Amino acid sequence: MTDKVAVIFDLDGTLIDSAPDIRAALNRVLARRGLPDLSAAAVQGMIGDGAKVLVDRAWAAQGRSAEPADLADFLADYEQNSAVETVVYPGLMAALEALAGSGHPLAICTNKPASATIGILEPLGLQKFFPVVIGGDSTPYRKPDPRHLAAAVSALGAARTVMIGDHDNDMAAARGLGIPSIFASWGYGSGQGTYIAHSAAELPGIIAGL
């Protein structure tokens, strides 16, 4: 067991700006159903609770109820087009290099399905940092349920852990486990963490002080 603090990252809105590709996939499926596009702002507000909730919210915004086929079509489209416009947030690569270089174990805990998560890490050059990836379908639970985050903590096997995310689901999961959290203010959501980072460059310093 390492004495270094293990660092668990959320994905969407924390490590990557994925909203453009999520929106594009949603809008393609909506168009095939004869429904109008959703705006970028609307889609950003729907992200954070997993693919099913995302699709449910998208269809509800159209006054419709999503069917299982709608979710399946979205997932198939998105997994084929998940790294078209998606980018790593500024400064994150340098922060990850610094953390990994200092020996901090790293993991991802996201409500995005595991296959979609793994599929996006390689084209963005992120897979080398994250030997542990816990997706929204990796356990019976999803954030804010702390048992979802607990799976990542257990896999890392470190004595101390911190959660970094842009959504209250991330902060709530960390509180439920009694571990510190860092709220990433550059993302899509809102939340109150133990600490707040306004840029990725601040992360190594905050973590060094834990």
Residues 6+ apart with CB under 8 A from 159: 1, 2, 3
43's CB contacts (< 8 A; 6+ apart) are 19, 22, 23, 26, 58
Mean pLDDT score, 139-150: 97
Closest CA to 180 of 169, 190, 193: 193
Q: Is the peptide bond before 144 cis (omega within 30 degrees of 0)?
A: yes
Domains and CATH numbers, the chain: 6-17+86-208 (3.40.50.1000), 19-80 (1.10.150.240)
**For the whole model, what pTM was predicted?**
0.94
d(CA 138, CA 103): 26
- The string of pLDDT tens digits covering residues 87-116 is 999 999 999 999 999 999 999 999 999 999
- Which residue is catalytic, options 10, 21, 49, 168? 10
Whether the predicted pLDDT of 1 surpasses 80: no
* 126-149 average pLDDT score: 97
Query: Which helix (H) or strand (E) covers residue 181, if one does?
Result: strand 181-184
Using an 8 Å Cβ cutoff, are 110 and 118 in contact? no
Computed over every residue of the chain, the mean pLDDT equals 96
pLDDT for residue 54 is more than 80: yes
Paired sense of beta strands 106-109 and 132-134, if any: parallel
H/E segment holding residue 88: strand 87-88
Q: 10 catalytic, yes or no?
A: yes
